[in-house]
Amino acid sequence: MAVVGGSGHTGGEACRLLLNHPAVTEIVPTSRTKEPFERVHPNLLGSGLEFVPVEEVVASAARFDAVLLCTPSGEAMRLAPLLLAAGTRVIDLSADFRFPDPERYRAAHAREHTAPELLAEAVYGVSELYRERIRTARLIANPGCYAITALLGLAPLVGSGLALPDAPLHIAAVNGTTGAGVSPRTDIQHAEVVGSLLPYNLAGHRHAPELEHQFGELAGEPVAVDLSTAHGDFARGIHIQASVRIRPELRDGLTRESLLARYRERYGEGAAGEFFVRVNDQPALGGLTDKDYGRFPHLAAVAGSNFVHVGLDYDARLGIARVVAVSDNLVKGAAGSAVQNLNLALGLPETEGLRGYGL
């Protein structure tokens, strides 16, 4: 297995997960840094991994079962054609293959796509939604961290026709500072971000078009997404709160409990259903104004894991379902979902190497 872009947060996390994967016998990370692997990733001290130039992986691509591209957008579209031509599978963790046509990509990322001939065959890598297509894919486009958390959090509402199509999905999302990448920036240094929130891209986040396309596929009609984002003063994690306006004709008798039943129907019960999606259906305690924290997911509970925890409540006065979904942006939001997709593509048990619970 090769990990291109192994010096970044996502590349390092991919190496960490693969080191604990019982079916992986070789890991070859690449980097352009002059620093040794274990100095860049001291948590993996003793792993024995060493960086190689990316050109070495491209030249010997045929010997790898798959190559994970943990690279900035723009780099994967350059490398993927070379790797695919050599006969290996590609799992791209950047945004380069998340849209089915180059115009959608250009509109979201303000650049031209240089490998448009591959877009039609790329499979969007949410295992829980596109499992069968992923099993036979050569090219898998891993979703963004905000996107996979929002999609799994809202799919039972949007996909069942409960969501009012004329009303935008309002999604407020906070992620950890690892979501800003490894390049040094004063704004995300610990001394600057601690005790604060850093809103960004409020004029239009690049994940909003990605979500609109995927929610549109689920709903069978256009869906508008109002996405606001910020970095929190924690290293890893995604916390999403979403408001979904329910169709007026479907509101009669709707309750938190009936909505949770739809989530259990979609995802099953814990390990017996979608293993990595857990529904927090703790009973509501106290009255309307009581601060009942236990009925909603906690961000810290998923740190280091490949799980998404989902919870919700229902505002009957406004006819709005309010959903909370949390994940680790480096695991389920990136490297973990990539390994989950890798398992599917290689015919391995989907949970292999990923069954660890949160810290």
How many domains does the chain fold into?
2
Residue 338 lies in a domain: no
Give the confidence band of 187 by pLDDT, cuts at 50, 70, 90: confident
Residues 156, 287, single domain; the answer is: yes
From its phi and psi, is residue 347 left (phi > 0), alpha (psi between -120 and 50) or beta? left
Amino acid 191: pLDDT:
76
The residues pairing with 311 across neighbouring beta strands, listed in sequence order, are 324
Residue 137 lies in a domain: no
- Of all helices (H) and strands (E), which one includes residue 321? strand 320-327
Give the Cα separation of 7 and 90 in Å (integer).
Answer: 19
Residue 103 lies in a domain: yes
β-sheet with 89-92: strand ranges across: 28-29, 2-4, 66-69, 89-92, 139-141, 123-124
Residues 164, 275, single domain; the answer is: yes
| pLDDT of 171 over the 80 cut | yes
* Domain carrying residue 168: 146-328
Residues 115, 154, single domain; the answer is: no
| pLDDT of 72 over the 80 cut | yes
Residues 90, 181, single domain; the answer is: no
Residues with a known catalytic role = 145
Nearest to 70 by CA among 289, 335, 337: 335
| pLDDT of 172 over the 90 cut | yes
| pLDDT of 266 over the 90 cut | yes
Residues 178, 281, single domain; the answer is: yes
Domain at 224, CATH number? 3.30.360.10
| pLDDT of 47 over the 80 cut | yes
Residues 94, 165, single domain; the answer is: no
Q: Is 77 helix (H, G, I), strand (E, B) or coil?
A: helix
Residues 205, 319, single domain; the answer is: yes
Query: To 10 degrees, what angle do helices 102-109 and 207-219 make?
Result: 140
Q: What is the mean pLDDT of residues 165-176?
A: 94
Amino acid 185: pLDDT:
79
Of the candidate ranges 5-9, 203-207, 285-289, the one whose mean pLDDT is the lowest: 285-289
Residues 164, 301, single domain; the answer is: yes
Residues 25, 164, single domain; the answer is: no
Residue 333 lies in a domain: no
Residue 72 lies in a domain: yes
**Prediction pTM value:** 0.95
Which tops the pLDDT comparison, 189 or 7?
7
Domain at 47, CATH number? 3.40.50.720
For the stretch 309-346, pLDDT in tens is 999 999 999 999 999 999 999 999 999 999 999 999 99
Residue 209 lies in a domain: yes
Give the confidence band of 194 by pLDDT, cuts at 50, 70, 90: confident
Bridge pairing between strands 89-92 and 123-124: unpaired
Residue 173 lies in a domain: yes
Residue 130 lies in a domain: no
| pLDDT of 190 over the 80 cut | no
Bridge pairing between strands 238-245 and 169-175: antiparallel
Is the alpha carbon torsion for 220, 226, 230, 232 positive or negative?
negative
Amino acid 235: pLDDT:
87
Residues 79, 21, single domain; the answer is: yes
CB 157 within 8 A of CB 218: no
Amino acid 102: pLDDT:
94
Give the Cα separation of 159 and 130 in Å (integer).
Answer: 14
For residues 313, 316, 319 and 321, what is the CA-based torsion angle, rounded to 10 degrees? 0
CB 240 within 8 A of CB 172: yes
Q: What is the mean pLDDT of residues 201-205?
A: 86
Residues 36, 73, single domain; the answer is: yes
Residues 321, 188, single domain; the answer is: yes
Give the confidence band of 181 by pLDDT, cuts at 50, 70, 90: confident
Q: Is 64 helix (H, G, I), strand (E, B) or coil?
A: coil
Give the confidence band of 207 by pLDDT, cuts at 50, 70, 90: confident
Give the Cα separation of 238 and 256 in Å (integer).
Answer: 23
Amino acid 271: pLDDT:
67
Q: Which residues contact 243 (CB under 8 A, 6 or more apart)?
A: 169, 170, 320, 321, 322, 323
Amino acid 192: pLDDT:
81
- Of all helices (H) and strands (E), which one includes residue 173? strand 169-175
Amino acid 116: pLDDT:
96
Question: In degrees rounded to 5, what are phi and psi of residue 16?
Answer: -60, -45
Mean pLDDT, rounded, of the chain: 94
| pLDDT of 12 over the 70 cut | yes
| pLDDT of 105 over the 80 cut | yes
